[in-house]
Amino acid sequence: MARPLLTATALLGSVIMIPIATQAMAAVDTDTYREFDQFLDVFNRVKADYVDKVDDKTLIKGAIQGMLASLDPHSSYVDALDFDNLKIQTEGNYGGLGLTVSMEDGAVKVIAPQEDTPAARAGVKSGDYITHIDGKLIYGDTLDESIGLMRGKPGTKITLGLVRPGRDKPLELSMVREVIVQKPVKWEVRGDVGYININTFSENTGADTRAAIMSIDKSLGHRPLGYVVDLRANGGGLLTQAIAVSDAFLDHGEIVSQRGREKTDIERYFAKPGDDAHGLPVVVLTDPGTASASEIVAGALQDHHRALVMGERTFGKGSVQTLLPIGPSTALRLTTARYYTPSGRSVQEGGIEPDIRVPQISDPDYKSRPVFREADLRRHLINEVKADDKILEEDTKTDPRFAMTPEALKKEGIEDFQLYYALKTVARLGGAAQVAAATRPVVKIPAAK
């Protein structure tokens, strides 16, 4: 409490020549001190009367966590374990399931499963609630405790109990932990179209995206018709890498700005000269799992008319979190700004609306499974601009396959309708032969035993 008291004393001293201001400040300080007194009363009552002995460190940490949790869903207290988790997200590998999760009203909620991981292959989906781990009820556990239970030695089995909105009965999915290797960028060639799948924004994502563009050119022996950049189920990551990825497709102009509490507190980030993709057509795929850093990329390319954004409206996380150290291994993860696209749009709460709405009709649950976004989080920051999530009627008429069932699509070899449609859109610029090549089903050859 020493620091707030010193600050208050300094403020009082600075306005001592202005009686009216002094009286107002004194009234404010009196109210503040009264609140501190109430906090200390509660602290002492808990220490004295709680059924079990509890140490000061636990109580203080709980008070800090509660204070930050009352602000917004993304501000939090970061201890040593959280530092390790953040490091894993941006740098390292770990034994686990490949899930991005959050805490909602005491329950662990899945934001997105990482592609080609045990969780994704077992069928865990965005919006699922994890209720049990190996038969143990985890409701009421902290998020760190639940994450700790899900991580473990590669090769060990684990069973998750899930509640999926829209399903009458709970699900029980078994899987085997693996070493989850952060591979932020994958690429392949479909016909004459380059496909770049970006699943996280870790420390090398920008460089890996540029390398993918070069590899696609080299693989074809010439430049492709264009690129599909897949940002679906990408929960974000480092701001620097979102800027780097955007810059790979832009040669000028603003990429993103972040604005703090004061009108003058603005930082702007710009593209450097040179477009690695040589101005070729780009389609960016998005869905409700496209969040934060992913939305910066989608918004920048959309505003500069550099890419068509296709798929579904994004998650809507338009806030910036800053790590403020308060000790050798602790920090505050505090929301300090909102970010804005080049045209001045805030994606907070509303997300990025696609230029062409394409539902994932190859997913049997796409109509019944509720969608989870920033606006569903308690205490999320409010944005005056609202958005709806209806599929536009004219979009559903552009291809007869919009009316097909997942089973019928599968018979045609289309397991990912959104990707099929994105590839078709880019390839259409090259004619019927290119469309056929780009959308041809991929034949997977079994590995030799």
Phi, psi of 186 (to 5 degrees): -125, 150
> Which residue, chain included where needed, has tokens 């003058």?
264
Count of Cβ atoms closer than 10 Å to residue 357 Cβ? 19
Clarify whether 303 is annotated catalytic.
yes
Q: What are phi and psi of 257, to 5 degrees?
A: -130, 150
The first and second tokens of residue 4, run together, are 């707030």
- Per the annotation, the verdict on 37 as an active-site residue is no
Catalytic residue among 125, 287, 303, 424: 303
Say if residue 415 is exposed, middle or buried (CB neighbours under 10 Å; 0-12, 13-18, 19+): middle
Q: Which of 109, 125, 317, 424 is catalytic?
A: 317
Residue 210's SS3 state is helix
Q: What value, to the nearest 5°, has the Cα angle with vertex 127 and ends 123 and 129? A: 85
Return the amino acid letter for 349: E
Q: How far apart are CA 255 and CA 271, in angstroms?
A: 6
Kind and range of the H or E element at 24? helix 19-49
CA distances (Å), origin 87, targets 9, 137, 293: 39, 28, 17
Q: Spot the catalytic one: 292, 319, 346, 362.
A: 292
For residue 252, what are the CA distances in angstroms to 136, 165, 255, 258? 54, 44, 9, 18
Assign 54 to helix, strand or coil: coil
How many whole angstroms from its chain centre is CA 82?
17
Active-site residue flag, 292? yes
Which residues belong to the active site?
A: 292, 303, 317
